Amino acid sequence: MRILITGAFGQLGSAVSKRLSKDSKIIRTGRSIPHDGQGIILDILNQIHFKDVIDATEPDVVIHLAAMTGVDDCQLNPKLAKEINIAGVQHLCDSFKGKIIHLSTDYVFDGKNGPYSELDTVCPISVYGETKLAAERILLNHDQNYLIIRGNVIYGDSSNTDASFLNWVVNSLKDGQEIRVVNDQYNNPTWTKSMADIISLCIENDLSGIVHWGDADYLNRFDFAIKIAEKFELNSKLIKPIITTELNQPAPRPLKSGLKSDKLIEVLDVVPPSIDDCLDAILEKNAK
């Protein structure tokens, strides 16, 4: 199978490329290509080039990960957020008639009542959430074979990603830097490898529609940071609790958010990993 990935050099893109390259031909695309990477330059805003790349590479499946992911950046620059997160998906649908796997987010919910199932009512409270929901609706209305996978607090362990909460905590504590972490935002943080494994299984089983995937532990961000510090044997006293409103961020955050994975657990007969198991596996990998 030939699989084209947009945003392939990002946090999740790196893990998904690695996982799927075991069984498939992977075509990695990105707005820029890292010096040690191989792929095709593709800015999803360029509709003509998008179609040219699809026509030239003839993928069976496109995994669409490219997005403007900075929640505050989206709030401060809604025009660009709409272009990348909404028009980018439209360009993909206009260019490609095969199976699309699209990564969406728990930020399509308002965070009053999480964790959420696929049947819960969406109600985004930020520009990022609005644009990701609008992207979902393009796929829903496009008569396209699609799978939307919603994720939440996805954390990578590769050193070349800035988007990872894990890396931010570990690197800050290693530098002896005090960090303030919110204790009123609840989610089920999900390791990139866990999400990559699920994407692989979804392809294998040709799933369609909307599904949620989050790892097993539901906790607040402060408690997650403490778990990371303890596993990595770093000074957890440098982590100070704070509430979301104290941060005065441009974009509102859903507080009681997160995702229920029951549908995928049943359909794929899988068990979401615990944070402890994921952090142990990361530590073991890094020790090699």
The site for ligand NAP (CB under 6 A) is made up of 6-7, 9-13, 30-32, 42-45, 65-69, 84, 103, 105, 132, 151-154, 161, 163
Torsion sign, CA atoms 192, 193, 198, 204: positive
207, 101 in Cβ contact below 8 A? no
CB of 99 to ligand NAP, least distance (A): 17
Is the CB of 31 or the CB of 231 nearer to ligand NAP? 31
Is the CB of 199 or the CB of 239 nearer to ligand NAP? 199
CB of 233 to ligand NAP, least distance (A): 25
Is the CB of 108 or the CB of 239 nearer to ligand NAP? 108
CB of 153 to ligand NAP, least distance (A): 5
Closest CA to 151 of 279, 245, 264: 264
CB of 149 to ligand NAP, least distance (A): 8
CB of 174 to ligand NAP, least distance (A): 21
Is the CB of 101 or the CB of 268 nearer to ligand NAP? 101
Three-class secondary structure of residue 146 per DSSP: strand
Angle, helices 275-287 vs 192-204, to 10°: value is 100
Is the CB of 198 or the CB of 233 nearer to ligand NAP? 198
Is the CB of 83 or the CB of 238 nearer to ligand NAP? 83
Q: Where are the alpha helices (DSSP H) in 98-236?
A: 127-140, 165-174, 192-204, 221-231
Backbone angles phi, psi at 147, to 5 degrees: -135, 125
Q: Which helix (H) or strand (E) holds 94?
A: helix 88-95
Closest CA to 135 of 210, 187, 215: 210
CB of 219 to ligand NAP, least distance (A): 15
Q: Report how far residue 68's alpha carbon sits from residue 83's, in angstroms, rounded to the nearest whole number.
A: 9
Residue nearest ligand NAP by beta-carbon distance: 10
Bridge partners (DSSP) listed for residue 180:
240
Largest interatomic CA distance in the chain? 54
